[in-house]
């Protein structure tokens, strides 16, 4: 049994931002800490992680800035965009170490890693024997293709820059890019990828994902007057008009999930809460504790376990903000 979890860390869309990451833990393994603890879905404690505590658990470091899709070289700036090769070598190493013999395997990730778990899910399935039960989990990885508060296309332009700089298009799922005509870079958005995925996948996401509210709906570039500054830090400080815009964003998010087939597909599962959060499965307080968010009388750990082991179909959808009193008080971007 093997559980590979890919870390998050955003993306770099141009030479300056990639250079700024180059000598950090988001751009070089030389800068990464040697050890860190496992918690949440990677916890080794039976009490707090009963369904997966005794699996072989792997944390996959993230240093390429493209959700493991890059394949380009900028020799003038000494930048090597090799995210796809990194992913292939990591998986090949895990297969050689015994993952090819696993009876059960999960590819998961948070944020940029959650997006990677979507983009690479079917490829991961194809690398393992047909007898292996393979599924994927995306935590805070369903980034919405939406306009910002100014009516602009900030996130579309951002992902387009990432795809072009890193040479990512050739490594995005062909089942998506073949349908997008002249816009294959739009396959960075899960809503266009998920509908043609073959491998079972589970989505843990907030309908009010804090990263998305701050960077897709109301990015600084679209909020020159900083009218959204206080609201983005604390939803309780939003005006009535801002809350309506945020509720409309939730509606768009749920509609995208539905159009992608998540709601009705028997092989896809979801736990969509109304907490102002980003990445929820890696911390014990959100995964499985007395303070974990509850949707329809179920916590995240139970929902994921029931879905993976097919104890019951899991389609958990929370009521609109601010209805859920069980949302833990944590750093919204943790």
Predicted confidence (pLDDT) per residue in 159-214, tens digit: 999 999 999 999 999 999 999 999 999 999 999 999 999 999 999 999 999 999 99
Task: At 66, list the tokens.
Answer: 């493209």
Average pLDDT of the chain to the nearest whole number: 96
Task: Tell me what pLDDT residue 331 has.
Answer: 53
pLDDT at 36: 81
Any alpha helices (H) in the chain, and if so which ranges? 15-22, 83-96, 112-119, 121-126, 154-166, 174-177, 190-193, 210-212, 229-233, 240-259, 284-287, 300-308
Pick the catalytic residue: 148, 209, 223, 318? 209
Domains of the chain plus CATH, in order, are: 2-317 (3.40.50)
- pLDDT at position 330 is 63
Contacts of 294-297 with C-beta under 8 Å, sequence gap 24+, read: 294/324, 294/326, 295/271, 295/324
Question: For strand 133-139 and strand 104-110, is the pairing parallel, antiparallel, or unpaired?
Answer: parallel
Which member of 66, 111, 138, 168 is catalytic? 111
Q: Does the pLDDT value for residue 33 go beyond 50? A: yes
Out of 278, 288, 318, 332, which one is annotated catalytic? 278
The yes-or-no verdict on residue 332 having pLDDT over 60 is no
> Rounded mean pLDDT of 233-255?
98
Is the pLDDT higher at 331 or at 288?
A: 288
Average pLDDT of span 103-110: 98
The per-residue pLDDT for 34 is: 85
**Has 209 been annotated as catalytic?**
yes
pLDDT at 74: 97
108 belongs to the catalytic site: no
**Residue-wise pLDDT tens digits, 37-72:** 899 999 999 999 999 999 999 999 999 999 999 999
Residue 207 and residue 274 in contact, taking contact as beta carbons nearer than 8 Å: yes
Query: 264: pLDDT confidence band, cut at 50, 70 and 90?
Result: very high
Please say if the pLDDT value at position 3 is more than 90.
no
Q: Backbone phi, then psi, for 153, in 5-degree steps?
A: -120, 50
Cβ neighbours of residue 180 closer than 8 Å, sequence gap 6 or more: 186, 187, 192
Answer yes or no: are the C-beta atoms of 40 and 281 closer than 8 Å: yes
Q: What six digits make up the tokens of 197?
A: 């995925």
Answer yes or no: are the C-beta atoms of 20 and 73 closer than 8 Å: no
How many Cα atoms sit within 13 Å of 45 on the Cβ side? 12
Instruction: Based on the residue annotation, tell me whether 290 is a catalytic residue of this protein.
Output: no
């Amino acid at each position: 049994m093997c559980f590979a979890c890919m870390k998050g860390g955003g993306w770099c869309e141009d030479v300056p931002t990639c250079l700024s990451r180059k000598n950090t833990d988001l751009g070089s393994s030389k800068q990464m800490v040697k050890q860190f603890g496992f918690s949440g879905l990677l916890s080794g404690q039976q009490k707090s992680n009963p369904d997966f505590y005794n699996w072989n658990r792997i944390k996959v470091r993230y240093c390429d800035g493209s959700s493991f899709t890059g394949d380009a070289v900028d020799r003038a700036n000494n930048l090597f965009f090799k995210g796809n090769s990194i992913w292939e070598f990591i998986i090949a190493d895990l297969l050689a170490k015994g993952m090819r013999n696993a009876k059960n395997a999960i590819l998961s990730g948070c944020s940029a890693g959650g997006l990677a778990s979507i983009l690479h899910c079917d490829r991961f399935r194809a690398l393992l024997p047909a007898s292996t039960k393979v599924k994927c989990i995306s935590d805070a990885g369903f980034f919405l293709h939406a306009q910002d508060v100014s009516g602009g296309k900030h996130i579309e332009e951002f992902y387009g820059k990432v795809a072009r700089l890193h040479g990512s298009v050739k490594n995005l799922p062909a089942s998506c890019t073949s349908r997008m005509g002249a816009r294959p870079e739009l396959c960075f958005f899960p809503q266009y990828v998920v509908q043609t995925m073959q491998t079972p996948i589970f989505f843990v996401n907030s309908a009010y994902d804090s990263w998305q509210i701050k960077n897709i709906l109301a990015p600084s570039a679209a909020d020159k007057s900083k009218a959204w500054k206080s609201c983005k830090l604390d939803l309780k400080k939003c005006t009535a008009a801002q809350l309506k815009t945020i509720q409309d964003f939730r509606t768009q998010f749920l509609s995208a999930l539905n159009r992608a087939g998540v709601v009705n597909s028997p092989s896809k599962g979801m736990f969509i809460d109304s907490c102002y959060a980003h990445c929820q499965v890696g911390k014990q307080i959100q995964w499985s504790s007395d303070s974990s968010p509850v949707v329809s009388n179920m916590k995240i750990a139970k929902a994921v376990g029931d879905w993976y082991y097919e104890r019951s179909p899991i389609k958990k959808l929370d009521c609109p903000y601010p209805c859920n009193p069980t949302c833990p008080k944590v750093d919204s971007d943790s």
